[in-house]
């Protein structure tokens, strides 16, 4: 029974990690932007839930507002900052790192440095025989699956996705064919940030919400992309499963710190043997 619970916990962490890494992958794969502020956008999504809870708004309203507000913030960030540093990875690291510090300090000024807690909208526990598991965590897993599937559908089955993949593969050629790369860049960044905000809102009731929470998901998100490969979207699934699964399952038998060390060693090994990631050479 303990093994089953560990596997479900691992699956829950993997799905959230993939959802966060998808936003990173969209931004990095299309624009070459290494967004060091992605974790803080995730954090802001969680703080939207804090505000909604404090003013008495229903939980579902917070879930709607979080991606809208964070997506709008992403639109502003892209217009004022990111558009000037496309395809310049070093510049994006420095610029978004500074942005992450600014966003974090803004949260501290508004809400204070102490952690916040969000009440779960569902307190029931699913019980089958000797097995029991919080119903809300299962709902988060289902919502993550739907969002991940929806994101893949948008980028693999729609006209927007076809153009986006063309820009990712051959930006200059796509531009000469009349594709508005500026428009695609902007809305891809907005989609990536909105996903981060929604992920933060979804997971807020299951963790402590504080100004430092973003970093704990940013690093595993980047590792998922490095391990899986920054080319195909499917690389996020492979990388997220490898990083999230390794971290969650090893935490059962060893300390969390040792588990994180094992994750870093796994990433180093994969990068050494396959610099482009496990699926990096595939399209």
Q: Kindly report, residue by residue over 49-68, the tens digit of the pLDDT.
A: 999 999 999 999 999 999 99
Task: Check residue 87 and give left, alpha or beta (phi > 0: left; psi -120 to 50: alpha).
Answer: left
What DSSP character marks residue 62? H
Candidates 249, 235, 224, 242; CA nearest to 282 is 235
Total domains in the chain come to 1
**Does residue 270 lie within any of the structural domains?**
no
* Per-residue pLDDT, 251: 83
Q: What are the Cα distances from residue 153, in Å, to 30, 160, 219, 248?
A: 17, 11, 26, 28
**Does residue 267 lie within any of the structural domains?**
no
pLDDT digits (tens, 9 = 90+) for 60-113: 999 999 999 999 999 999 999 888 887 777 888 899 999 999 999 999 999 999
The mean of the pLDDT values for the chain is 86
What DSSP character marks residue 126? E
Count Cα atoms within 13 angstroms, Cβ side, for 272: 6
- How many whole angstroms separate alpha carbon 226 and alpha carbon 203? 24
Find the mean pLDDT for residues 188-193.
89
* Per-residue pLDDT, 1: 57
**Does residue 248 lie within any of the structural domains?**
no
**Does residue 29 lie within any of the structural domains?**
yes
Enumerate the H helices of 32-58 as residue ranges: 38-54
Find the mean pLDDT for residues 194-213.
92
* Per-residue pLDDT, 131: 74
- Please tell me which residue, 41 or 234, carries the higher pLDDT value: 41
Query: What's the domain range around 106?
Result: 2-211
> Which one of 96-105, 119-128, 133-142, 227-236 scores highest in mean pLDDT?
96-105
pLDDT-derived band at 175, boundaries 50, 70, 90: confident
**Does residue 266 lie within any of the structural domains?**
no
**Does residue 12 lie within any of the structural domains?**
yes
> Using DSSP, how many helices (H) and how many strands (E) does the chain show?
11, 2
- How many whole angstroms separate alpha carbon 126 and alpha carbon 135? 6
pLDDT-derived band at 21, boundaries 50, 70, 90: confident
**Does residue 155 lie within any of the structural domains?**
yes
pLDDT at 2 over 70: no
- Asked if residue 22 lies in contact with residue 35, where contact means CB atoms within 8 angstroms, the answer is no
What tokens appear for 264 in the block? 């870093």
* Per-residue pLDDT, 158: 87
* Per-residue pLDDT, 29: 66
**Does residue 111 lie within any of the structural domains?**
yes
* Per-residue pLDDT, 181: 79
pLDDT-derived band at 279, boundaries 50, 70, 90: confident
* Per-residue pLDDT, 30: 65
What tokens appear for 277 in the block? 């990631």
* Per-residue pLDDT, 282: 54
pLDDT at 205 over 90: yes
Residues 6+ apart with CB under 8 A from 223: 239, 243, 263, 264, 267
pLDDT at 167 over 90: no
* Per-residue pLDDT, 210: 93
């Amino acid at each position: 029974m303990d093994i089953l619970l560990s596997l479900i916990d691992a699956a829950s962490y993997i799905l959230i990690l993939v959802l966060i890494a998808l936003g990173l992958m969209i931004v990095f794969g299309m624009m070459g932007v290494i967004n060091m502020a992605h974790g803080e956008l995730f954090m802001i999504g969680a703080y939207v839930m804090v505000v909604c809870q404090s003013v008495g708004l229903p939980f579902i309203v917070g879930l709607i507002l979080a991606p809208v507000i964070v997506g709008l913030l992403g639109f502003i960030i892209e217009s004022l900052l990111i558009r000037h540093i496309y395809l310049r990875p070093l510049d994006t690291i420095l610029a978004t790192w500074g942005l992450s510090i600014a966003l974090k300090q803004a949260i501290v000024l508004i809400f204070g440095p102490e952690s916040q807690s969000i009440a779960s909208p569902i307190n029931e526990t699913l019980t089958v025989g000797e097995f029991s598991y919080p119903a809300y965590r299962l709902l988060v897993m289902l919502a993550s699956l739907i969002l991940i599937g929806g994101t893949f559908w948008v980028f693999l089955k729609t006209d927007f996705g076809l153009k986006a993949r063309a820009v990712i593969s051959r930006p200059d050629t796509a531009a000469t064919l009349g594709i508005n790369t500026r428009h695609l860049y902007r809305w891809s960044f907005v989609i990536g940030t909105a996903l981060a905000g929604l992920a933060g809102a979804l997971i807020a009731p299951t963790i402590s919400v504080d100004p430092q929470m973003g970093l704990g998901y940013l690093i595993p998100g980047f590792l998922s992309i490095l391990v899986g490969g920054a080319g195909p979207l499917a690389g996020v699934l492979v990388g997220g499963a490898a990083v999230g699964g390794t971290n969650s399952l090893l935490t059962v038998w060893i300390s969390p710190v040792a588990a994180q060390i094992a994750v870093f060693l796994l990433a180093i090994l994969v990068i050494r043997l396959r610099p482009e990631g496990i699926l990096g050479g595939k399209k």
